[in-house]
Chain A
Amino acid sequence: MWDMLKKMNKNTKSNLITYGIVIVAFVVMQLLISTGSISSLLEGLMVPLCMYIILAVSLNLVVGILGELSLGHAGFMCVGAFSSAFFSKCMADVITIAPLRFFLALLVGIASAAVFGIIIGIPVLRLKGDYLAIVTLAFGEIIKNLVNVLFIGKDSNGFHFSTKDVMGLNMEPDGTVIVNGPQGITGTPKDSTFLIGVILILITLFIVINLTNSRDGRAIMAIRDNRIAAESVGINVTKYKLMAFTISAALAGAAGVLYSHNLSTLTANTNNFGYNMSINILVFVVLGGIGSIRGSMIAAVILTLLPELLRGLSDYRMLIYAIVLILMMLFNWAPKSIEWREKYLSFGKKKKEAAK
């Protein structure tokens, strides 16, 4: 077993460590929860935490691996959340097996977010740098605002749509409102659990890590490093940009599904699906070290849990939060710290140098 570990290359080992961290953290938290050692508040934070990790890892695919700045990630999450909640609400009575219903809702959420990823990606990925950031930001806001004027109801004649109000649906008296504009969707079955969240994290990690270490992932990183050179060896830049963007959007959709099935009322507002959220996710990615999957994960955990853990110190809460932000920034980006980490924290590298 140990020999096998030794033989594996550095990359594989590092990836196994990443999966290991997630599983160990999950087991520890489960133990703490089952022995009643943590507050119910913290326990309630577990599903959102899983969601933030998925969002951070998936955004890293665009920001770190593809090297494009996207600020519309919350928009894709919004699409995943609403499409899946819509599905689950319609199917609440038809499919009574909760895991099956959730699984199908997950597929719906992922597929819808992926479709939006493609539709938005095609025009937007022609832009570069700041322009791309601004336009994705705008798209995220547009999606959020569209959801707020969307009314969908269902009666014996089928579905009715409106962008005005409930009266605009023109339903028979037996009709029920499913999506109620700014009031969103109420009564989505609460199917999300910590376990499902962790499974989704593992799947997200699996997809992003394996994609990155494959032929397609190399093409994506080649475009990031030098677009002109990538084209010169025959890499289809448009195709691979769109691939990274769409997979990232689809995974954000999965996070949205987790989110919407954890709440009894789903509404789209500035805090959950607005640019605030997109920027929050970007902060995880940047502080975790752009391109570092494990870093995104750890940053998401620290920055999500910190405000809650510090709740007792109400006055100093934001101060400590700010200090932690700065420390993480220094740890990841200061040249001295990078040197230190390369020396002491990277496995295998040292041996190779010693062999020289």
Chain B
Amino acid sequence: MGALLDVKNLGISFGGLRAVNGFDISIEKEELYGLIGPNGAGKTTVFNLLTGVYKPDAGKVILDGQDITGKKTIDISKAGIARTFQNIRLFTKLSVLDNVKVGLHNKHHYSTIEGILRLPGYRRVEKEMNERAMELLKVFDLADHADYLASNLPYGQQRKLEIARALATEPKLLLLDEPAAGMNPNETGELMEMIQLVREKFHMTILLIEHDMKLVSGICEKLTVLNFGEVLAQGDTATVLNDPQVITAYLGE
């Protein structure tokens, strides 16, 4: 016990396909945990199950002692899970700053009336939100681009903005779905440093999906390998990577 995220026997089927089956994972506070596996193994589906995009047909999800199995996405966000998406999903026609401010939505409140009439509550809270959002943008070197439309950012920075937006919700657990996808080796290296930094600065617990084994082994202390929807191996990074089953699954692709 005491784990921040405790998942037991999670599963879901799409028609005849058992996309995830008997999935267990236990993540401690402030751990940086990797979820790897070949294409179509069910990694993104696990994220969708954890965040309520899909309802699991089996299993239990406990976050920080709270049962969140089968809850709605917004309740899971409020409970403390935030995520990024494999195919970037930004608010494309909003500014970079506003993207982060949408992430702050549930942490800073004023009423609709206060907003329309521009009452003092509006001014005070908007100022707080601007300051907080700028702080987050600074962490990701995006502060200079605060006024840009999100869709006008280069690809690599869009990925960073997604992380900043997720952090704005002040999550307990951050799920990153292939944050380095489509980046060149330079950008990837920089991003990995940034993820480490986020973890230290925000005392964040992170579950990271990654394709690139090298990359994952560099920063994750624990790994779970998924193959055809089932856990193939699980444990310390070094042990898992030397597991003969894992080696065959990857080389046998």
Q: A residues near B, CB below 8 A?
A: 206-207, 210-211, 214-219, 221-222, 224-226, 228-237, 243, 291, 352
Task: Give the contacting residue for A210; candidates B105, B116, B168; CB below 8 A.
Answer: B116
Q: Which residues of A contact B91 (CB under 8 A)?
A: 221-222, 225-226, 229-230
Shortest CB distance B61–A (Å): 16
- A215 B103 Cβ-Cβ under 8 A: no
- A235 B125 Cβ-Cβ under 8 A: no
Proximity string of chain B (97-130) to chain A, C-beta cutoff 8 Å, 1 when within and 0 when not: 0100111011011101001111000100110010
Shortest CB distance B23–A (Å): 20
Q: A219-B102, A234-B77, A234-B105 are in contact. Are A229 and B85 (CB under 8 A)?
A: yes
Q: A211-B115, A235-B105 are in contact. Are A226 and B77 (CB under 8 A)?
A: no
Task: Give the contacting residue for A211; candidates B90, B116, B168; CB below 8 A.
Answer: B116
Q: Which residues of A contact B118 (CB under 8 A)?
A: 210
Known: A207-B116, A233-B168. 16 other contacts (CB 8 A): A210-B116, A210-B117, A211-B112, A214-B110, A219-B102, A221-B98, A224-B93, A229-B89, A231-B74, A233-B77, A233-B165, A234-B106, A236-B74, A237-B74, A243-B112, A352-B147
Q: Which residues of A contact B105 (CB under 8 A)?
A: 215, 218-219, 233-235
Q: Which residues of A contact B165 (CB under 8 A)?
A: 229, 233
Q: Which residues of A contact B82 (CB under 8 A)?
A: 232-233
Q: Which of B108, B112, B116, B166 has the most CB of A within 10 A?
A: B116
- A222 B115 Cβ-Cβ under 8 A: no
- A234 B78 Cβ-Cβ under 8 A: yes
Can you list 30 A-B contacts with CB-CB less than 8 angstroms, sorted by A residue number?
A: A210-B115, A211-B116, A214-B115, A214-B122, A214-B126, A215-B109, A216-B112, A217-B115, A218-B101, A218-B102, A218-B105, A221-B93, A221-B94, A222-B91, A222-B94, A224-B93, A225-B92, A225-B93, A226-B90, A226-B91, A231-B77, A232-B89, A233-B165, A233-B168, A234-B73, A234-B78, A235-B74, A235-B105, A236-B74, A237-B74
Chain A residue with minimal CB distance to B129? A215
Chain A residue with minimal CB distance to B118? A210
Shortest CB distance B193–A (Å): 25
Chain A residue with minimal CB distance to B106? A234
Q: Is the interface of A mostly helix, strand, loop or mixed?
A: helix
Q: A207-B116, A217-B115, A222-B102 are in contact. Are A232 and B77 (CB under 8 A)?
A: yes
Task: State the CA gap A352–B147 with chains docked (Å).
Answer: 10
Number of B interface residues, CB 8 Å? 38
Q: Which of A206, A226, A233 has the most CB of B within 10 A?
A: A233
Task: State the CA gap A231–B98 with chains docked (Å).
Answer: 16
Asked if B69 is at the interface of the complex by the 8 Å CB criterion, the answer is: no
Q: Which of A217, A222, A231, A236 has the most CB of B within 10 A?
A: A222
Chain B residue with minimal CB distance to A206? B116
Q: Which residues of A contact B103 (CB under 8 A)?
A: 233
Task: State the CA gap A210–B119 with chains docked (Å).
Answer: 11
Task: State the CA gap A226–B82 with chains docked (Å).
Answer: 16
Shortest CB distance A94–B (Å): 31
Q: B residues near A, CB below 8 A?
A: 51, 53, 73-74, 77-78, 82-83, 85, 89-94, 98, 101-103, 105-106, 108-110, 112, 115-118, 122, 125-126, 129, 147, 165-166, 168-169
- B169 A234 Cβ-Cβ under 8 A: yes
Q: A225-B90, A236-B74 are in contact. Are A230 and B116 (CB under 8 A)?
A: no
Shortest CB distance A279–B (Å): 25
Chain B residue with minimal CB distance to A224? B93
- B112 A214 Cβ-Cβ under 8 A: yes
Task: State the CA gap A221–B149 with chains docked (Å).
Answer: 13
Shortest CB distance A62–B (Å): 16
Q: Which of B82, B103, B168 has the most CB of A within 10 A?
A: B103
Task: State the CA gap A218–B108 with chains docked (Å).
Answer: 13
Q: Which residues of A contact B51 (CB under 8 A)?
A: 232
Chain B residue with minimal CB distance to A234? B77
Q: Which residues of B contact A225 (CB under 8 A)?
A: 90-94
Task: State the CA gap A187–B23 with chains docked (Å).
Answer: 72
Q: Which residues of B contact A216 (CB under 8 A)?
A: 112, 115
Task: State the CA gap A84–B64 with chains docked (Å).
Answer: 54
Q: A231-B73, A233-B102, A234-B106 are in contact. Are A215 and B125 (CB under 8 A)?
A: yes
Task: State the CA gap A218–B94 with chains docked (Å).
Answer: 8
Chain A residue with minimal CB distance to B116? A210
Q: Which residues of A contact B112 (CB under 8 A)?
A: 211, 214, 216, 243
- B94 A234 Cβ-Cβ under 8 A: no
Task: State the CA gap A21–B142 with chains docked (Å).
Answer: 36
Shortest CB distance A264–B (Å): 35
Q: Which residues of B contact A214 (CB under 8 A)?
A: 110, 112, 115-116, 122, 126
Shortest CB distance A87–B (Å): 25
Shortest CB distance B88–A (Å): 9
Task: State the CA gap A221–B101 with chains docked (Å).
Answer: 12
* Closest 4 pairs between A and B when the two form their complex, measured CB to CB: A214-B115, A234-B77, A229-B89, A225-B91
- A235 B102 Cβ-Cβ under 8 A: yes
Task: State the CA gap A219–B129 with chains docked (Å).
Answer: 14
Task: State the CA gap A222–B102 with chains docked (Å).
Answer: 7
